[in-house]
Amino acid sequence: MASVGLLGVGGTISVAPGERGAQPARGAEELLPPTGVPAGIRVHPRDVLRLPSHTVTVDDLWLLVEEVRAEIAGGRDGVVITHGTDTLEETAYAMSLLVDTTVPVVLTGAMRAPHLAGPDGPANVAAALMTAACPELGGYGPVVVFSDEIHVARLVTKMHSTRVDAFASPAAGPVGFVAEERVELLLGPPPRRDLLPSTAPPSRRVGLVWATTGIDGEQVAAYGAGLDGLVVGALGAGHVSPALGEALVRFAESGRPVVVASRCPDGALLSHTYGGAGSEIELRRAGLLFANVLSPPKARLRLLFGLSAGLPADELFGP
């Protein structure tokens, strides 16, 4: 019998309607599938937070990390986290940075509220429990389970704002799926782990700016004064406007790291193809770091928690 912790954090899966709109109201125990817990699993539900995920802070992430660690230290064979979908992928990636374990850690939620027709929460929780009870998943790091698909934290992203099949991994697809109360793995564990070599509570401020057509560098000057680091959601394969590029270089010259990630949900950042102001060649030559396949929000979390633990930025974003 697998012992699986079920940690409730809030989100659509837990909401109830009210005069001012739906809000998280249901506890973790109320989220168990109405058809019953899958065979061979004993579930231990408890609430950690009860929040819509757009309000989750990095301090909340650290609290959740500590609760996951406590579940694992208490002998759980797996841990499921029910979470809102707006920032679910970021919380999943934070788990991959901060939780050192071979115990499966699974995040899920719902796109359709419990009081609406055809809620997807019960099926997602059932699939997540089965995934958490599969010991082979421990080697994949934290995963997201949605619509019976299993996605690794590094690659998964929310691709649609309302559909129940909102999550995908554009670069590689799901690593497995759930069918007939069994887990089927399609791909082996990812070749790299995102786990940080040391961890600490969040104590650094890292900002995120987005490159857009013709944007200048004024936002960096205004926004960057109190920051310890900066991530830019760049265009294409790692490009920004010349004015924004100049501002980013000035920020980096102050001794604070700047990390370039792409706005595109799939594809590589280049290193030596395009030249000229704002190109990847010029940004790399100026000492900016590149995030490889990480999305801008995930790159921000890596830089934030890495700097908080005293890790050098260039080691966080190596080749």
Q: Which homologous superfamily is 2-185 in?
A: L-asparaginase, N-terminal domain (3.40.50.1170)
Q: Give the model confidence (pLDDT) of 177-223 as tens digits.
A: 999 999 999 999 988 789 999 999 999 999 999 999 989 888 898 88
* Tokens of residue 278, six digits: 């704002």
Question: CB within 8 A of 150, min separation 6: which ones?
Answer: 131, 137, 140, 143, 144, 174, 175, 176, 177, 178, 183, 185
Q: Give the model confidence (pLDDT) of 100-147 as tens digits.
A: 999 999 999 999 999 999 999 999 999 999 999 999 999 999 999 999
Question: Could you give the CA distance from residue 293 to residue 80 in angstroms, rounded to a whole number?
Answer: 26
Question: Could you give the CA distance from residue 223 to residue 252 in angstroms, rounded to a whole number?
Answer: 14
Q: Give the model confidence (pLDDT) of 269-286 as tens digits.
A: 999 999 999 999 999 999
Tell me if 104 sits within 8 A of 143, measured CB to CB.
Answer: yes
319: pLDDT strictly greater than 70: no
91: pLDDT strictly greater than 90: yes
What ranges do the domains of the chain cover?
A: 2-185, 206-316
**206-316 and 2-185 share a CATH fold:** yes
Task: List residues with catalytic annotation.
Answer: 12
Q: Against a cut of 0.85, is the pTM above it?
A: yes
Tell me if 183 sits within 8 A of 147, measured CB to CB.
Answer: no
pLDDT at 318: 77
3-class secondary-structure state, position 189: coil
Q: Give the model confidence (pLDDT) of 283-313 as tens digits.
A: 999 999 999 899 999 999 999 999 999 999 9
Has domain 206-316 been given CATH number 3.30.1550.10? no
pLDDT at 167: 98
Mean pLDDT for all residues in the chain: 96
Question: Could you give the CA distance from residue 57 to residue 63 in angstroms, rounded to a whole number?
Answer: 10
Backbone φ and ψ of 265, nearest 5°: -75, -5
Question: Binning pLDDT at 50, 70 and 90, where does residue 161 land?
Answer: very high
Tell me if 113 sits within 8 A of 96, measured CB to CB.
Answer: no
CA dist 120 → 41, 86, 115, 162 (Å): 21, 16, 11, 12
Query: Strand order in 289-290's β-sheet?
Result: 206-210, 229-234, 258-262, 289-290
